[in-house]
């Protein structure tokens, strides 16, 4: 864990209220693992805000975030060459089993953020399918809509929209069962209702659904310190009480008692 004052190299609104920010942080870019996060001191606000690491380059890390409150609004207004106070890398990230070859990634909305880093990390040695669900095509983070922001080269990209404006019509979880048979490992990031639907799916009798029990999910909850001192992000799991910031944010889907999670 390292606290640094880092320089913003770009900050672009790539979709409505969603920003892609690149930060010069060479030491962190080398050390970070997919699924880990950083915290940012946003102006004069007391509590830091947590953000998934979205991408890395040799000298930079990227954040993909949605403006949802005063802290993220402040961050969205920062300009190139401004400096921000970050603490990272934090948390326990995704892991890939040695024998896994076919990885299935499931993103709901802004949940695409940490999965792109995992995709970037694994694509050279694995077959990757990425299901991305959103309300409408304008909310899909795709090569077609944002060609400078992300590359899906070598990845099977499967868009799903609730209004049918791009790809399949419905929710990401509606088409998920059709992809489980050929997946060695499953990873997901999205809203709570998506996780609950996946947990319900894993309890059904079909053998391929059992893969969801070991599905690794990135969980977002309200945090205080971000490194395990305040216990504000504690959740109840089948293995006892866990802190999202220290024991996660990545957990196995089947370990979490979803009825008790509040995001």
What CATH number is given to the structural domain containing 43? 2.40.30.10
Q: What is the pLDDT of residue 83?
A: 97
Angle, alpha carbons 257-260-262 (nearest 5°):
120
Please check whether residue 24 lies inside any domain of the structure.
yes
In a domain, 15, yes or no: yes
64 is a domain residue: yes
What is this structure's pTM? 0.93
What is residue 167's predicted lDDT score, i.e. its pLDDT? Answer: 92
Plot region of 165 (φ>0 → left; ψ -120 to 50 → alpha; else → beta) = alpha
pLDDT at 145: 47
Residue recorded with tokens 């969980």: 219
Residue 71 lies in a domain: yes
Number of structural domains found in the chain? 1
pLDDT of residue 129: 96
The answer to whether residue 33 sits within a structural domain is yes
On whether residue 102 sits in a domain, the answer given is no
pLDDT at 149: 44
Give me the residues of the chain with pLDDT under 70, please.
Answer: 143-151, 205, 263
pLDDT number for residue 143: 54
Output the pLDDT for position 227: 78
Domain containing 54 equals 2-90
Residue 14 lies in a domain: yes
> Is position 250 within any domain?
no
């Amino acid at each position: 864990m390292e606290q640094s004052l880092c320089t913003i190299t770009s900050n672009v609104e790539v979709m409505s209220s969603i920003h892609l920010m690149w930060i010069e942080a060479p030491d962190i870019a080398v050390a970070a693992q997919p699924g880990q996060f950083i915290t940012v001191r946003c102006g004069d606000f007391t509590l830091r805000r947590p953000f998934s690491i979205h991408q890395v380059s040799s000298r930079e890390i990227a954040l993909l975030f949605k403006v949802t409150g005063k802290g993220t609004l402040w961050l969205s207004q920062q300009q190139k060459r401004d400096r921000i106070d970050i603490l990272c890398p934090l948390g326990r990230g995704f892991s890939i089993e040695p024998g896994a070859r076919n990885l299935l990634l499931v993103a709901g909305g802004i949940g695409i953020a940490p999965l792109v880093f995992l995709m970037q990390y694994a694509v050279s040695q694995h077959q990757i399918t990425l299901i991305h669900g959103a309300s409408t095509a304008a909310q899909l983070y795709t090569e077609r809509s944002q060609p400078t922001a992300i590359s899906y080269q070598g990845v099977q990209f499967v868009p799903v929209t609730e209004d049918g404006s791009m790809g399949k019509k419905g929710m990401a979880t509606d088409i998920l069962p059709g992809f489980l048979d050929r997946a060695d490992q499953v990873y997901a990031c999205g809203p709570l209702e998506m996780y609950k639907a996946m947990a319900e799916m894993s309890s059904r009798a079909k053998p391929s659904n059992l893969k969801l029990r070991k599905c690794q999910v990135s969980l977002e909850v309200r945090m205080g310190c971000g490194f395990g001192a305040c216990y504000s992000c504690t959740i109840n799991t089948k293995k006892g009480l866990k802190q999202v910031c220290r024991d996660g944010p990545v957990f196995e889907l089947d370990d979490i008692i979803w009825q008790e999670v509040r995001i």
